[in-house]
Structure 1
C-alpha cells in the first residue's frame, strides 16, 4: 500500500517541481482557495492558536493574519515540492545567508555546531546553508511513516550535502564525524510540543506556559558544542533570508533551560514581527493546562 501511494503521488509532486516559479505560484493561489475557502484545512486550530498567542488582537486582525498565513502555507507546500528538481544556483538565488562570514567564523572555532530554529518562513530551504561551510551537515528529523517518501526526502537533502538523522542517531553521528576529523553543523527544529513526562521542562512561549523540547540544549552541554539560532525571514514571495545568531560558544556555563528560553525568545520576536509566517496548523499549545 505504501508503494502504491508513492507511485500515485510522486508524479504529481514531480510535475509541480518542474513548473516555472511564476506558474508555481498561480497553482498556489488555486490551492489557497481549495485549502482555506473550500476545505477549511485546520482553520479552527489556526484560529484558536492565533487567539491564544494574540489575546489582545481583534477578530478582524486575527482574520487578516489567518488569511495571510494560508497564502504562505500554500506557497511553502509547493516550494517543498519544488525542491525535488530545483538547482543549487536557483536555490542560492532565493535563499540567501545575510552573514556568511559568521558561518566561516563558526567553522574556524574548530567545534561542532548545533543550529536551532523554529517552524517559521522556509525552514526546508535552509539546506542551502551547506554552500557556505565545509562543516558536515546533519538535520534531525522525524521519519515519515511511508518509507518510500522518507527515502525521497533523505535523497533530496543529500543532493545539497545534508544528511537527515533521527533523534536517537544524533549523538553517535556527531561523535563519529568528530572521530573521523570532521566537525559538523546539526539543525534542530525545536519549537513544537513534546510529549508530557514527569521531568519535562515547562517554559513560556508566546506568554503561555507549555512543555518545551530541551534536546538541543542538553546535547550542546553534553558534547560541549557551539549553539546558535538561525533567523529566517521572508523577503517577498519565493525569496528568503537567513541570519546566524550566536546563542553560546560555551553552553556548559549556562543554567539549565537558559539556552532553551533564549531560543524561544528569538522565535517569539519573529512571530510578533510577522505572525503570518509561523506554522499555526500545529497544536503547539495543546498541553497548556496539563502541568501538574
Structure 2
C-alpha cells in the first residue's frame, strides 16, 4: 500500500517540481481555493489555535490571518515539491542569508553549531544554508511512516550535501562526529509538541504553558556546542531571508532551559509580527491543560 501511494503521488510531485515559478504560483492560487474554500483542510484546528493565542482578536481579524495563512500554506506545499528539481542558483536567489559573516565567525570558534528554528516561513528551503558553511551540514528530522516517501524526503533535503539523521539516531551520530573531530552545523526544528513524560520541561509559548523540546539545548550543553537561532522571514512570494542570531557561544554558562526559552521568545516575536507565516495546522498546544 505504501508503494502504491508512492507511485501514484511521486509523478505528480515531479511534474509540479518542473513547472516555472509563474505557473507554480498560479497552481498555488487554485490549491488555496481547494484547501480553504472547498475542503476546509484542518480549518477547525487552525481557527482554534489562532483564537487560543490571540484571545483579544475578533472573528474578522482571525479570519484575515487564517486566509493569509492558507495562501502561504499553498505556496509552501508547492515549494516543497519544487525543491525536488530546483537548482542551487535558483535556490540561492530565493533563499538569501542576511549575515553569512556570522556563520563564518561561529565556525572560526572551531566548535560545532546547533541551529534552532521553527515551522515558520520556509524551513524546507533553509537547506540553502549548506551553501554558506564549510562545516558538515546535518539536519535532524522525524522519520516518515511511509518508507518510500521517507527516502524521497531524505534525497530532496540532502541534495546540496546536507546529511539527514532521524531523531532516534541523532545523539549517537553527532557524538561520533564530535569524537572524530568533525565539526558540523546541526539543524533542529524545535517548536514541536513532545511526548509527555515526568521529566518534560513546561515552558511558556505565546502566553500558554506547554511541554517543550529541550534536545537542542541539552546536546549543546553536553558537547559544548555553539547554539543559534535561524530567523526566516518571507520577503515576498517565493522569496525568503535567513538571519543567524547567536543565542550562546558557551551554553554551559546558562541556566537549564534558559536557551530553550530564548528560542521560544524569538519565535514569538516573528509570530506576533506576521502570524500568517506560522504553521497553524499542527496541534502545538494540545497538552496545554495537562501540567498538574
Scaled by the length of structure 1, the TM-score of the pair is 0.98
Q: How far apart in 2 are the matches of 1:176 and 1:214? A: 21
Per the alignment, residue 127 of structure 2 pairs with 127
Alignment of 1:14-53 (within 5 A): 14-53=14-53
Q: CA contact under 8 A between 2:143 and 2:167: conserved in structure 1?
A: no
Q: Distance in 2 between matches of 1:18 and 1:149?
A: 19
Secondary structure of the residue aligned to 2:110 is coil
Q: Distance in 2 between matches of 1:180 and 1:135?
A: 13
Mapped partners of 1:259, 1:70: distance in 2: 31
The aligned residue for residue 198 of structure 1 is 198
Tell me the distance in 2 between the aligned counterparts of 1:275 and 1:21.
Answer: 25
Structure 1: runs of 5+ lacking an equivalent: none
Deviations 1:201-232 (A, max 9, x none): 11100000011111111110111110000000
SS of 1:168 mapped into structure 2? coil
Which is worse superposed, 101-110 or 121-130?
Answer: 101-110
Confirm whether residue 66 of structure 1 aligns to residue 36 of structure 2.
no
SS for the counterpart of 2:12 is helix
Equivalent residue for 1:140?
140
In the aligned structure 2, how far is the partner of 1:221 from the partner of 1:95? 30
The answer for the alignment partner of 1:207 in structure 2 is 207
For residue 178 of structure 1, report the CA deviation from its aligned partner.
2.9
Task: Please give the residue correspondences for 1:276-287 in structure 2 after superposition, counting only pairs within 5 Å.
Answer: 276-287=276-287
Displacement over 4 Å in runs of 4+: none
Superimposed CA distance per residue, residues 53-86 of structure 1 (whole angstroms, 9 cap, x where no aligned partner): 1111111110000000000000000000000000
Q: Distance in 2 between matches of 1:291 and 1:107?
A: 39
Pairing of 1:1-292 with structure 2 (within 5 A): 1-292=1-292
Contact 2:141–2:166 at 8 Å: present in 1 too?
A: yes
In 2, Cα distance between equivalents of 1:166 and 1:248 = 25
Q: Matches of 1:42 and 1:232 in 2, distance apart?
A: 24
Please report how far the alpha carbon of residue 197 of structure 1 lies from its aligned counterpart in structure 2 after TM superposition. Answer: 1.0
Could you tell which deviates more after superposition, 164-173 or 235-244? 164-173
Mapped partners of 2:177, 2:130: distance in 1: 16
What are the Cα deviations for residues 156-212 of structure 1, in whole angstroms up to 9, with x where unaligned? 122111111112222222232233332001000111111111111111000000111
Return 176-185 or 188-197, whichever deviates more: 176-185
Give 5+ residue unaligned stretches, structure 2: none
